[in-house]
Structure 1
Amino acid sequence: MSTSQKMSRRNFIQGVAFAGAAGILSPSLNRAMGYESPNERPVFATIGLRNQGWAITNKSTKFADFAALADVDENVLGANVEKLVKKQDKKPDAYKDYRKVLDRQDIDAVMIATPDHWHTKIAVEAMLAGKDVYCEKPLTLTIDEGKLIEKMVKQTGRVFQVGTMQRSESGQRFLQAIALIRDGRIGKVQKVTCGINGMEGSPKIPEAEVPEGLDYEFWLGPAPKVAYRALPEMREGYGGGVPLYSNCHYSFRNWHEYSGGKLTDWGAHHVDIACWALGATDTGPSKISPVSYELPVEYKDGFPVVNDQYNAATSFRIKVDMPEDVEMIITSEGDNGILFEGTKGRFFVNRGKIVGAPVEALKDNPLPDGAIEAVYGGKVSENHTANFIEGMKSRKQPISDVWSHNRMLEICHLSNISMRLGRDLNWDPKKREIVGDDQANSFLSRENRKGYEINM
């Protein structure tokens, strides 16, 4: 691509502004968005390619050209390069080190799908390098990381989409749920229950030889230095097969060193919708109470005493005191989905259904015209990436912005802290700190391992 073509595309993305960050799908999406030729399509790169990394790359080739891919596992990297060649008929450059992606001046935006403990470092450095960012949920490992990302979005002026796709893709039922609540169909909301399922613990996982092609030191990155652990039994269907039990690959979600278990995995979806429906995306809870829970290993002072088993909660029932005297329950029991209860009725919604008397009543008393669009802020996009690119054009934050995401994710992080310490936590949503509990406040941040500090 010539220099003039690069400047044309970059000027187009950064200079065109018009109202609204949605309403972008049409029979010819590229024309509707102004991309009349391949040279005007934004240039992307993906960092972290297993599972969801390929999923978001694959769907985004409809709207963007991918110039580079990065992953610390050379087997995953090579396999995804070949898959992408088939999708876009052009081979992307391949890197183990994501920093080489950020050095590229021709890349407009990065998509981040690494394990959670890498998100903040890469996202901050990408923004400082002039890239817009799409980052998979959960956005952060700690609450203070969220504050830093918010600060850098403001400082750099970058557009930042969080990959909570229930707000767009497969989100029509959730948008309808919010519209029902806003239209008063269940009266005043009194209780909302988020069912996010539990997880199983693990057997003891022994130290093992690092798989060939994986740079495990770089995979750990900001996390503490520990030995690689795995059992030989394989979990198929996840990027070619990975160990069923390990402290890496797919299972990173089950370790507090790298993630937050079900609370940040599925909680990042359903607690988000619940907060959106309650109008609580710019505030927070006042109290978190661990009613009942089970941790798979023994804890002392909030830390697991063993390092050879999963350590995130396997079952739980958390009570959250929300504004306007609304009670939120986050539970591993029952159906996966959200139950809204109000003074005039109740209904249940998940990715497969929305049911209840208020929903049935829509046959005779439909929602007002434009009610769904009013929730979304414009015409609803059927694709999260398309919404992100529209934000890149308008320089407006997309539907899943960092501020609303961090506010709801604070509930999930606080729930984990409450279980790790075994006590209620009182939260100040204005100061964004735990009231009168220095030990609990120490869990709001985590120091990166030496050599993996955020470069600012």
Structure 2
Amino acid sequence: MKKTSSLSRRDFMLQGAAALGAAVAFPSVVPSTVFGAAAPSNRITMGMIGMGLMMGGHLRGMLGRSDVQVLAVCDVDQRRREGAKNQVERAYANQAADGAYKGCEAYLEYEKLCARSDIDAVFVVTPDHWHAMCSLAAIKSGKDVYCQKPMTLTIREGRLMTDACKQYGTIFQVGSQQRSEWAFRKASEIVRNGWIGKVHTIYTSLGSFAPPTTLPAQPIPEGFDYDRWLGPTPWFPYNAERVKGDYGGGWRRFWEYGSRKNGDWGAHHFDIIQWALGMDDSGPVKFIPKGWPGYEHQTHYYADGTRVLRDHPVRGGHMIQFIGTEGEVMVSRGGRLDTRPAELAQAPLLASEIHLYDSNNHEGNWIDCIRTRTQPICPAEIGHRTSTICHLSGIAERLGRPIHWDPVEERILDDPAAERWYDRPRRAPYVL
């Protein structure tokens, strides 16, 4: 079922109410003077789910746009959700002529936010183990979705989300924002157009987390719904380190909530490697853990023999290094791009060569695509294929042996124990 645009849906609601002579109550909106030329009916109304560290930049970005209105926030931590609600209302009050605005709701349950018919789109910026449930609820309620990377906790979740987006016509953007940075796009275009010959080896740096440890039980803070934070994952006693949204550790270092560094930085760098190799609808076929005989580094292979080595030293301290038969490309954030030969970095593309999707603002690209109903730079299928690499790398690491993968059928080959990791058991009542 193709989702109608936000404007046509509102028009339908208004026309239906008038025809029935009904008195329809709509949520309060920011005065039009706040948004300049953007009329209320043309704004994309937004809900924000997961008000932690990562959401900070997204929320500021949306509050700074005249064509977007944030209507609701959601978090399992009362302090965070109330703080976010106050932030939204202060921002709009500061822009309003009368200096007053009270129109942002704060929810504990994402289900209530997703059930609102006046919200067009949502950000899902929770820990990884909540991405699928929140996103699927939003998709099925007719909303467009921006979901942080990695897109899912399991491979099965990714296929379910991708298929749901197709069914409901969802504009879904995965937060793999390196695709919207020019240096990564240029590096990928150099590789895709064969400027460094046939690429055979790729190095990428992901770093490491401290190993998971058994943590002592601590009192659950007042106003924090720890059971809901755990959601579908196994129960463990509360400890602040387990739930902390820390880029250097916290929940990211525990297997229960993700794929550790493979899901953290791997979701970024493996994604660019997929893009550069033209493998957005496919993936590698073999995953080998670090320490397997003959392998100093975690490695995965594509069907043509191209290999990707994790945490092999990268030339010039870069994040990714592509090595081809006729040259090299090294690329990092901050617009860092180096090549061998050096002149490739600044050479223009010919009109006849491959030009990759050009986006210079990841959030803005999603907003534009919501309006035009066109695909963004990193839709669900791409995010699913990248997160699959993260999951399979983690499975190989946890089992301590190579994993063979069929990217067409999307199944692990000849290893029943590994096949069980296609999905994970889910703690009731948090089931898909």
TM range, normalised to the smaller chain?
0.7 to 0.9
1:79 pairs with 65, 79, 83, which one?
83
What's the offset of the Cα at 1:247? 4.6
Match of 2:428 in 1: 450
Match of 1:255 in 2: 254
1:152 pairs with 160, 164, 168, which one?
164
Identity of aligned residues (%): 36
Instruction: State the Cα RMSD in Å.
Output: 2.3
The residue matched to 1:291 in structure 2 has which SS? coil
1:227 pairs with 224, 237, 242, which one?
237
The alignment's TM-score, normalised by the length of structure 2, stands at: 0.84
Match of 2:55 in 1: 53
1:67 maps onto 2:83 in alignment: no
Distance 2:274 2:426 in 1: 30
Distance 1:449 1:362 in 2: 50
The residue matched to 2:123 in structure 1 has which SS? strand
For the 8 Å contact 1:54–1:80, the answer to whether it is kept is no
1:343 maps onto 2:321 in alignment: no
What's the offset of the Cα at 1:399? 0.6
Q: 1:453 to 1:284 in 2, by over 3 A?
A: same
The residue matched to 1:403 in structure 2 has which SS? helix
Distance 1:332 1:227 in 2: 37
1:189 maps onto 2:199 in alignment: yes
Alignment deviations for residues 137-176 of structure 1 (CA, whole Å, 9 cap, x no partner): 11100111111111111221111111111111xx110011
What's the offset of the Cα at 1:357? 2.3
1:68-147 alignment to 2 at 5 Å?
A: 68-89=72-93, 90-91=101-102, 92-147=104-159
Match of 1:288 in 2: 287
2:338 pairs with 327, 343, 355, which one?
355
Q: 1:341 to 1:7 in 2, by over 3 A?
A: closer
Q: 1:10 to 1:337 in 2, by over 3 A?
A: farther
For the 8 Å contact 1:268–1:408, the answer to whether it is kept is yes
One-letter amino acid of the structure 2 residue matched with residue 324 of structure 1 = D
Distance 1:371 1:36 in 2: 39
The residue matched to 2:356 in structure 1 has which SS? helix
Distance 2:244 2:207 in 1: 22
Q: 1:342 to 1:402 in 2, by over 3 A?
A: same
1:367-386 alignment to 2 at 5 Å?
A: 367-368=349-350, 374-376=355-357, 380-386=358-364
One-letter amino acid of the structure 2 residue matched with residue 449 of structure 1 = R
Higher RCO (C-alpha 8 Å, min separation 6): 1
Match of 1:329 in 2: 309
Match of 1:419 in 2: 397
One-letter amino acid of the structure 2 residue matched with residue 344 of structure 1 = E
Distance 2:313 2:328 in 1: 19
Match of 1:239 in 2: none
What's the offset of the Cα at 1:331? 2.3
For the 8 Å contact 1:321–1:328, the answer to whether it is kept is yes
Q: 1:71 to 1:426 in 2, by over 3 A?
A: same
Which segments of 5 or more consecutive residues in structure 2 lack a partner in the other structure? 1-5, 13-36, 94-100
Match of 2:388 in 1: 410
Q: 1:388 to 1:362 in 2, by over 3 A?
A: closer
Distance 2:312 2:237 in 1: 31
For the 8 Å contact 2:81–2:106, the answer to whether it is kept is yes
Match of 2:16 in 1: none
For the 8 Å contact 1:283–1:407, the answer to whether it is kept is yes
Distance 2:303 2:356 in 1: 20
One-letter amino acid of the structure 1 residue matched with residue 193 of structure 2 = D
Distance 2:285 2:209 in 1: 27
Q: Which range moves more in the overlay, 330-339 or 44-53?
A: 330-339
Distance 2:367 2:213 in 1: 44
Distance 2:40 2:120 in 1: 14
1:366 pairs with 323, 348, 351, which one?
348
Distance 2:161 2:10 in 1: 24
What's the offset of the Cα at 1:8? 5.2
Distance 1:362 1:444 in 2: 40
For the 8 Å contact 2:128–2:152, the answer to whether it is kept is yes
The residue matched to 2:210 in structure 1 has which SS? coil
For the 8 Å contact 2:51–2:74, the answer to whether it is kept is yes
One-letter amino acid of the structure 2 residue matched with residue 47 of structure 1 = I
Match of 2:277 in 1: 278
The residue matched to 2:304 in structure 1 has which SS? helix
For the 8 Å contact 1:290–1:319, the answer to whether it is kept is yes
For the 8 Å contact 1:117–1:222, the answer to whether it is kept is yes
Q: 1:163 to 1:220 in 2, by over 3 A?
A: same
1:397 maps onto 2:375 in alignment: yes
What's the offset of the Cα at 1:318? 1.5
What's the offset of the Cα at 1:268? 0.5
One-letter amino acid of the structure 1 residue matched with residue 49 of structure 2 = I
Match of 1:210 in 2: 220
Distance 1:401 1:7 in 2: 23
One-letter amino acid of the structure 1 residue matched with residue 326 of structure 2 = K
For the 8 Å contact 1:9–1:39, the answer to whether it is kept is no
Match of 1:436 in 2: 414
For the 8 Å contact 1:196–1:332, the answer to whether it is kept is no
Distance 2:212 2:378 in 1: 34
The alignment's TM-score, normalised by the length of structure 1, stands at: 0.79
One-letter amino acid of the structure 1 residue matched with residue 422 of structure 2 = L
Alignment deviations for residues 362-394 of structure 1 (CA, whole Å, 9 cap, x no partner): 55x43336978x211xxx333212211222122
For the 8 Å contact 1:161–1:401, the answer to whether it is kept is yes
Which segments of 5 or more consecutive residues in structure 1 lack a partner in the other structure? 1-5, 13-34, 231-244, 294-315
